[in-house]
């Protein structure tokens, strides 16, 4: 099978339903072969954006969608050459696995020998050969998800669109399938738009992530940029856990209730007197060894790590992740060392 990836551009695409604007005008480009993840809380407009790419929704007047050089804004889904997987999979219950995967090809009046060859190839790719003649209700959730993917790929689409394809599965299976999905998408090299509200999925699968909230794009960046250089509080708080330290700027430091945090050379002290850091970018040490101190409040052993909350160092309790084996007693005084590269300033 051969996929010819196409770049996608959305220009000033907004969407209004019954007088309510649910998507503000957005501009978005997706490179040929790139996997772009739309991430955000429920109702933020991810699915609406995906449906505009698919041709299931038309943007409000003034918006345009391009696949390569083609303006596809008015083109319905069946003429856009997109493959789509829905959260519910929407498989045909009266067809076998083979029947589902080959359905689109049959409708397109593809020669039966080619349908068979293409379906066999997809069943092998998705490790479904042993299930080819089963009915859909005989399959596990993970197998159904793979049938839906195979069906979406059967007509060699220019673009693959996935709407929360792993959400219906239990957590452990989701982890495994996320890895499989990653391998698959990298191998196919197809332009993909992937909608999820799960940050782990977004981090693992996205070449770039678009963080959305309330119908707007908050940030577009690689997973590392989104995580380590969030554009604002909304992004910082939605993606992972983040700690806030607040106090007063001093020369080369931020003074807080628990002491001070030295800022790296060249750090601009012109914003509000606040610094942020991720739980894994700090260490707990003996109080006399650190310039920032607090008191251990809670200790949660999570296996591979232990999550400790510390009060008295900043206005709010700080969350610090330490190795699973290290032990801290609630009520004891601790020092907090934050890696200089872990300090984040937010607008
Ligand atoms: P979820 O993860 O819950 O699917 P989402 O980020 O994908 O959320 P959308 O499905 O894009 O969000 O919905 C954005 C907003 O638009 C929501 O408030 C939703 O209720 C509204 N909306 C979506 N489709 C329609 C429609 N056909 N008619 C009216 N309102 C709609």
Query: What does each of the 347 residues of the chain score in pLDDT, given as a tens digit?
Result: 888 899 999 999 999 999 999 999 999 999 999 999 999 999 999 999 999 999 999 999 999 999 999 999 999 998 999 999 988 888 999 999 999 999 999 988 989 999 999 999 999 988 899 999 999 999 988 899 899 999 999 999 999 999 998 887 888 888 888 888 898 898 888 999 999 999 999 999 999 999 999 999 999 999 999 999 999 988 998 898 999 999 999 988 999 999 999 998 888 888 899 999 999 999 999 999 999 999 999 999 999 899 999 999 999 999 999 999 988 999 999 999 999 899 998 87
In this prediction, residue 175 carries a pLDDT of 85
Q: Decide: 22 in ligand 1 pocket, CB within 6 A.
A: yes
Q: What pLDDT sits at residue 237?
A: 86
* Cα separation, 90 vs 73, whole angstroms: 25
Contact 206, 36 (CB under 8 A): yes
Largest CA distance in the chain: 77
Locate tokens 């770049």: which residue? 7
pLDDT for res 83 = 94
Alpha-carbon distance of 46 to 43, in angstroms, equals 8
Helix axes 112-125, 141-153, angle to 10 degrees: 140
**What are the tokens at 37?**
């993840």
Inter-residue contact 337 to 260 (CB < 8 Å): no
Q: How far is CA 81 from CA 72, 115, 120, 160, in A?
A: 11, 17, 21, 9
Q: Are 279 and 320 in contact (CB under 8 A)?
A: yes
For ligand 1, atom 3, the nearest C-alpha belongs to 42
User: For a substitution probing ligand 1, which of 10, 13, 16, 22 has the most ligand atoms within 8 Å of its CB?
Assistant: 22
Residue 160 alpha carbon to ligand 1 centre in Å:
20
DSSP 220: E
List CB contacts of 158: < 8 A, sequence separation 6 or more: 3, 4, 5, 6, 67, 80, 81, 82, 190, 191
Our answer on whether the CB atom of 16 is closer than 6 Å to any ligand 1 atom is no
Beta bridge partners of 221: 209
Does ligand 1 lie within 6 Å of residue 39's CB atom?
Answer: no
- Fill in the DSSP letter of residue 263: P
Q: Judging by DSSP bridges, how do beta strands 216-221 and 243-246 pair with one another?
A: unpaired
Ligand 1 mean position to 168 CA, how many Å? Answer: 18
Which of 15, 17, 23 for mutating ligand 1's site (highest number of atoms within 8 Å of CB)?
17
Name beta bridge partners: 21.
16
Ligand 1 center to 181 CA (angstroms): 25
Query: 261 phi and psi, to 5 degrees?
Result: -120, 125
d(CA 195, CA 121): 26
Q: Does ligand 1 have an atom closer than 6 angstroms to the CB of 43?
A: yes
Closest residue by Cα to atom 19, ligand 1, is: 43
The ligand 1 atom at the shortest distance from the C-alpha of residue 50 is 11
User: pTM above the 0.75 mark?
Assistant: yes
In sequence order, what are the residues at sequence separation of 6 or more whose Cβ sits closer than 8 angstroms to the Cβ of residue 314? 243, 244, 245, 246, 247, 256, 257, 258, 294
Q: What is the pLDDT of residue 32?
A: 96
Nearest to 132 by CA among 123, 141, 144: 123
Report CA dihedral (188, 189, 190, 195) to the nearest 10 degrees: 90
Contacts with 11 (C-beta within 8 Å, 6 or more apart), sequence order: 27, 63, 64, 65, 66
SS3 of residue 8 by DSSP: strand
Cα–Cα distance, 209 to 190 (Å, whole number): 16
């Amino acid at each position: 099978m051969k996929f010819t990836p196409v770049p996608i551009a959305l220009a000033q695409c907004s969407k209004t339903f019954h007088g309510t604007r649910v998507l503000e005008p957005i501009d978005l480009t997706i490179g040929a072969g790139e996997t772009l993840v739309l991430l955000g809380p429920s109702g933020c407009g991810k699915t609406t954006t995906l449906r505009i790419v698919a041709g299931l929704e038309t943007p409000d007047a003034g918006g345009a969608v391009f696949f390569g050089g083609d303006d596809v804004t008015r083109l319905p889904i069946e003429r856009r050459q997109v493959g789509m997987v829905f959260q519910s999979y929407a498989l045909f219950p009266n067809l076998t696995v083979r029947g589902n995967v080959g359905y689109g090809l049959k409708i397109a009046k593809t020669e039966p020998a080619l349908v068979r060859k293409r379906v066999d190839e997809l069943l092998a790719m998705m490790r479904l050969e042993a299930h080819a003649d089963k009915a859909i209700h005989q399959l596990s959730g993970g197998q159904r998800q793979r049938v839906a993917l195979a069906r979406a790929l059967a007509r060699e689409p220019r673009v693959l669109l996935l709407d929360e394809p792993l959400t219906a599965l239990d957590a452990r299976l989701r982890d495994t399938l996320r890895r499989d999905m990653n391998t698959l998408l990298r191998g196919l090299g197809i332009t993909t738009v992937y909608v999820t509200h799960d940050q782990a999925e977004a981090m693992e699968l996205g070449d770039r992530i678009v963080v959305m909230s309330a119908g707007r794009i908050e940030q577009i960046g690689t997973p590392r940029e989104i995580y380590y250089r969030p554009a604002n509080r909304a992004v910082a708080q939605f993606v992972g856990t983040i700690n806030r330290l607040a106090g007063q700027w001093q020369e080369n430091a931020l003074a807080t209730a628990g002491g001070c945090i030295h800022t790296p050379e060249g750090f601009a002290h012109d914003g509000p007197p606040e610094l942020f850091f991720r739980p894994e970018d700090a260490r707990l040490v003996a109080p006399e060894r650190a310039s920032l101190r607090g008191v251990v409040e809670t200790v949660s052993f999570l296996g591979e790590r232990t999550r400790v909350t510390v009060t008295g160092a900043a206005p709010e309790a700080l969350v610090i992740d330490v190795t699973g084996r290290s032990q801290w007693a609630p009520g004891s005084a601790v020092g907090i060392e934050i890696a200089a590269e872990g300090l984040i300033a937010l607008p």
